[in-house]
Amino acid sequence: MSLKPGTRLGSYEVLGQLGQGGMGEVYRARDTELDRDVALKILPQAFASDPERLARFQREAKTLATLNHPNIASIYGLESTPDGRALVMELVAGQTLGDGIRQKFEVQSSKLFSGPLSLPFKSRKRWRRPTRRASSIAT
């Protein structure tokens, strides 16, 4: 289910897509009643009709509702749509988790490697796994 900017879900007006993943798509939306931007995580109809995925989505919503931490987005509610379910969450500005992990890996790997093919060892000799010939194993 792909939502276009301007689409309304209850009191939320979709502004644009932020990303997508295994459980659906995430959109930036405007809460027209409270005058704030939110994130809408949409569970597609195909998943909403699957009891296991729907239960997982609802567990995620309940778990998020119990958490209160500056590094975890707050949940504002659940919306039912004709095409599925939507999780309404705090919109957190900044980079995505994937971008953060990639950036951290690049920084750490740049400390390990001095060049694109360099090894993080003093000795740069070729290392090979010792192999046994079939004739030496049989005897």
- Span 126-135, pLDDT tens digits: 555 555 555 5
**Element of type H or E holding 28:** strand 24-31
For position 135, what pLDDT does the model report?
Answer: 53
| pLDDT > 90: percent of the chain | 22
| pLDDT > 70: percent of the chain | 75
State how far the Cα of 84 lies from the Cα of 81, in Å rounded to an integer: 5
Q: How many residues does the chain have?
A: 139
Confidence band, pLDDT 50/70/90 cuts, at residue 109: low
Confidence band, pLDDT 50/70/90 cuts, at residue 119: very low
7, 28 Cβ separation under 8 angstroms = no
64, 42 Cβ separation under 8 angstroms = no
Per-residue pLDDT tens digits for 47-104: 778 888 888 888 888 988 898 888 788 899 888 877 678 889 999 887 777 787 888 7
Residue labelled with tokens 């039912």: 80
Query: What domains, with CATH codes, occur in the chain?
Result: 8-90 (3.30.200.20)
12 φ, ψ to 5°?
Answer: -110, 130
